[in-house]
């Protein structure tokens, strides 16, 4: 059971907008630790998608965006495409865990 | 161009110690704010943060695994080594090393699958 809670699955039709939530607490997201998001395509290593809440690495389309509110963060994907079907993970740090890192439980995105 | 590659045994027996090496290129672990971390993923399950070592030799461990993990670096060889003692079948999974800048993992190795037999 991760300290960062994500929905196990979300789905959407091509072209639609979906959001994936990452719910934490006052010792991680609420404490101001950065939230990062990763995309993992089947059989591959994770790829950094969003860092420091809402920054995109070079090469990541602006269809992907991140946000934060209180003790939660969200990843939004607009203009959904078939190739977006993957597992998505949020990641942060936690002061109650000696400032070690934590990942969310992951969310499987299905493009209908 | 930053690259990382994990190496080590693909099969270990329960109670044995696992030693994994991450060999990297394209950056130096002497650079401020740079680190290398280890993350694992059991088959069909979520990512799990294991440990990280920074340029200044600061080390952080997952509290749940801290007593079993040791992370070290050899900057002359561009390598980071993770050891995990007392392996158990539940430790089976893919182990990744990754470059970190501040708080995020921006470059990942391909991963290495480790199977623990009972």
pLDDT for the residue numbered A1: 75
pLDDT for the residue numbered A98: 78
Q: Which of A112, A22, A26 is nearest to A75 (CA)?
A: A22
pLDDT for the residue numbered A47: 98
Q: Cα(first)–Cα(last) distance of chain B, in Å?
A: 40
Q: What is the pLDDT of residues A65-92, one digit of tens each?
A: 999 999 999 999 999 999 999 999 999 9
Q: Which of A41, A59, A42, B96 is nearest to A50 (CA)?
A: A59
* Contact residues, chain B, for A104 at CB < 8 Å: 46
pLDDT for the residue numbered B81: 98
The pLDDT confidence band at residue A50, using thresholds 50, 70 and 90, is very high
Q: How many CA within 13 A on the CB side of residue B99?
A: 22
Q: What is the pLDDT of residues A2-41, one digit of tens each?
A: 899 999 999 999 999 999 999 999 999 999 999 999 999 9
Asked if A97 and B96 come within 8 Å (Cβ–Cβ), the reply is no
Q: Shortest Cα distance from A102 to chain B (angstroms)?
A: 6
Determine the Cα–Cα distance for residues A96 and B76; give it in Å rounded to an integer.
34
Q: What is the mean pLDDT of each run of 10 residues along chain B (118 residues)?
A: 97 97 96 96 97 95 95 96 98 98 93 97
Asked if B81 and B22 touch (Cβ cutoff 8 Å), the reply is yes
């Amino acid at each position: 059971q991760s300290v960062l809670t994500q929905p196990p699955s979300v789905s959407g039709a091509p072209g639609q907008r979906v959001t994936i939530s990452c719910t934490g607490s006052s010792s991680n997201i609420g404490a101001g630790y950065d939230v990062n998001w990763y995309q993992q395509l089947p059989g591959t290593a994770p790829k950094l998608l969003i860092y420091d809440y809402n920054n995109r690495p070079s090469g990541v389309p602006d269809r992907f965006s991140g946000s934060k509110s209180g003790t939660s963060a969200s990843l939004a994907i607009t203009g959904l495409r078939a190739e977006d079907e993957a597992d998505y993970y949020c990641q942060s740090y936690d002061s109650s865990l000696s400032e070690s890192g934590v990942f969310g439980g992951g969310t499987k995105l299905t493009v209908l | 161009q930053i690259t990382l590659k994990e190496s080590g045994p693909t099969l270990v027996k329960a109670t044995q110690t696992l030693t994994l090496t991450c060999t990297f290129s394209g950056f130096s672990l002497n650079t401020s704010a740079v680190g290398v971390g280890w993350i694992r993923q059991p088959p069909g399950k979520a990512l799990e943060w294991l440990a990280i070592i920074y340029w200044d030799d600061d080390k952080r461990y997952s509290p749940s695994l801290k007593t079993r993990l040791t992370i070290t670096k050899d900057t002359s060889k561009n390598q980071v080594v993770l050891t995990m003692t007392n392996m158990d079948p539940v430790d089976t999974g893919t182990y990744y090393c990754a470059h970190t800048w501040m708080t995020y993992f921006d470059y990942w190795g391909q991963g290495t699958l480790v199977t623990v037999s009972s």
